[in-house]
Amino acid sequence: MTSRVVVLTGGSSGIGRAAAHAFAARGDKIVLAARGLADLEKVAAECGGQALVVPTDVTDRAQVDELAEAAVDAFGRIDVWADTAAVVAYGRFEDIPPDVFDKVVTADLLGPANVARAALRVFRKQGRGTLILSSSLLGHVTVPYMSTYVTPKWGLRALTRILQQETRDAPDIHVCQLVPGSVDTPIYTSSGNYAGFVGRPPPPVDTAERMGDAIVSLADRPRRSRSVGLANEFVEAGYSFMPPVYDALVGPLMRSFGLSRRRTGPDKGNVFASKPRVYGGPARYGRAPVSAAALAALTGAAALALTGRRRLKRRTTA
């Protein structure tokens, strides 16, 4: 299917920007939405200047509804709606100001809910359409210092599953979930921070372009869920099958690999308002040393957990 109408919320940077490039290369009609007009216009120019730009805050239901109306008014329909909009605030739960925690949860859970509501309303009228919600590996496991992000991603995973159940009566309406692992995007340099150190994507790190291609693939061939990340299966296996070992290791490993050595003071980041995006920073910040014993323990635990998971799968499918 060519020349689709694609709405991208969160289209100003990171995975959304990469998806915009990929859809534009296919000749699709793009509607770009995010809070920051300047960044949206940059992405539109990168896509050939043909994209429709609609500044939108997904936490504002009225703005999301207006975005849907603008897309339909401009192009007559919406074929694909992919939502990658998200914000983050690092820090221990008790150190994060309540208003910051509430705002991140609102953006990362109620924002996608607003998107889903608007998209499904259009899809029901058309009788078809594909909604792609960007979840995360952190919607399947937990890590310290990211309660603001993990909490709504678990909720989004549940919402996506429910929407898949509730659209079974409409075989041409698809609800898909992208589950990225660690991705190098500007979300780390833009995030709120109460952890003392700038966050960074822990290795192995994928590119935003790989995730953008995965979104296009889901639009081409919808499926319920697609996990993209070299370590996703290992991390989920360790979390599910060896929780005591996982809980013992995840804190030190998060401090070593999920937080850089670049210090930062308490900062709300882009949680409440858009900020200019900075590319290529956190993935290059130095890491704290981690002991060989901890890495060996993690590797062994992951291998055992993954073996157990695969054996369980074989038993249940036999």
Residues annotated catalytic, as ranges: 149
CA distance 257 to 18: 25
Contact between residue 149 and residue 86 where contact means Cβ atoms under 8 Å apart = yes
Sign of the dihedral through C-alpha 34, 59, 16, 230: positive
Provide the token pair at 295: 């890495």
Q: What are phi and psi of 299, to 5 degrees?
A: -60, -45
Provide the token pair at 100: 């910051």
The residues, any chain, with a CB within 8 Å of residue 130's CB and separated by 6 or more, are 79, 80, 81, 173, 174, 176, 218, 219, 222
At residue 173, the 3 state secondary structure works out as strand
What is the number of alpha carbons within 13 Å of residue 144 lying toward its C-beta? 17
The continuous run of DSSP H or E covering 20 comes out as helix 14-25
Nearest to 30 by CA among 38, 66, 17, 222: 17
Contact between residue 46 and residue 22 where contact means Cβ atoms under 8 Å apart = no
